[in-house]
Amino acid sequence: MYRRPLQSAVRSAIHATRAARGQVSDQEAGFIRALAACQLATASSPSLTPCRTMHISTQLRNVKETQQHTEEEVGAFTKLIEAMGFTGPLKYNKWKIKIAALRMYTCCVERINYDEFFEKCTLPDTLNSWFLVAQLHVWMCLVRMRQEGREGKYMCRYIVHSMWEDVEQRSKIMGIDATHRKEGMKAMTETFYAAIFGYDEGILADDTVLAAALWRNLFNYQCDDPKQLEDMVEYVRKQMQYIDALDGEDLMLTGEVKWRPLVEENAQSILKVATPTYNDTGL
């Protein structure tokens, strides 16, 4: 990036000099002569294969300028109302997306064996430990649904909204007073968004970075057993690959997510397709 201003200035000076002198560089003149010779040979010998048209460009490109997956094209009015904080028209009904978001959050709560997590990760059986495990699975759902365009991002908002509603209701049931509940919600909010940032960095990097994110956010800096970190890294990787393979439209309309077990004998089964077994007769 720091080289671009210098290169732009050099190119501008060269173009200005050429425009003033009306001259062409030797390299460009060579390209023009080669193209003319090729066209002349093609015209004189029809049996020859036509020369490929040469493309000359002085534009520089870097990795960020390569073609990426483009998002859905939206109109100017939709961009305007979304810039004002409203949601434009979506592919699916908004109420269906909200119901699917609530159902997906319910899968993060009801289909997880929290007692097994507390035992394997040596976590105390508290509301905060429950929240740390829940936010890990919510994050995995957010990562998956953000791949579904504007509808997926809309669904992510209500998954997070459902999570905070549930946390507040659980704290009320536990008898936490309003003052401590407000302080606790503020601390959990900071923890959640810090964890989202750390997990995003870890899932895009290697296992060392992901293990560090789990050590900070799930184990709360209190894990001296590397086997526990290894098991959790393996768990996150296999869950992410599993839910990435789920159909996006089904997730948008149903919100149904089934989680793989925390500990399983063949954890690589999702990575490799199981080869069929045959008997002696070939059946």
Q: What is the DSSP string of 206-258?
A: -HHHHHHHHHHHTSTT----HHHHHHHHHHHHHHHHHHHTS-HHHHHHH----
Q: CB of 158 within 8 A of CB of 97?
A: yes
pLDDT tens by residue, the chain, 283 residues? 433 444 444 455 445 444 444 444 454 454 455 445 445 544 444 444 444 343 333 443 333 343 344 455 655 545 555 554 545 556 667 788 889 999 999 999 999 999 999 999 999 999 999 999 999 999 999 999 998 888 888 899 999 999 999 999 999 999 989 899 999 999 999 999 999 999 999 999 889 999 999 999 999 888 888 999 999 999 999 999 999 999 888 898 888 998 999 887 766 555 443 444 545 554 4
Rounded Cα–Cα distance for residues 281 and 283 (Å): 6
Dihedral-angle region of residue 188 (phi above 0 means left; psi in -120 to 50 means alpha; beta otherwise)? alpha
Residue 139 is encoded by which pair of tokens?
A: 């994050």
Rounded Cα–Cα distance for residues 179 and 42 (Å): 86
Q: CB of 185 within 8 A of CB of 124?
A: no
Q: CB of 213 within 8 A of CB of 201?
A: yes
CA dihedral 102, 108, 109, 113 (to 10 degrees): 160
pLDDT value at residue 234: 92
Query: For the purposes of burial, counting CB atoms within 10 Å of the CB of 251, is it exposed (0-12), middle (13-18) or buried (19 or more)?
Result: buried
Is pTM beyond 0.75? Reply is no
SS3 82: helix
DSSP 48: S
Nearest to 207 by CA among 223, 231, 191: 231
Nearest to 101 by CA among 152, 170, 164: 152
> How many Cβ atoms sit within 10 Å of the Cβ of residue 40?
10
Nearest to 217 by CA among 143, 134, 146: 134
pLDDT value at residue 17: 46
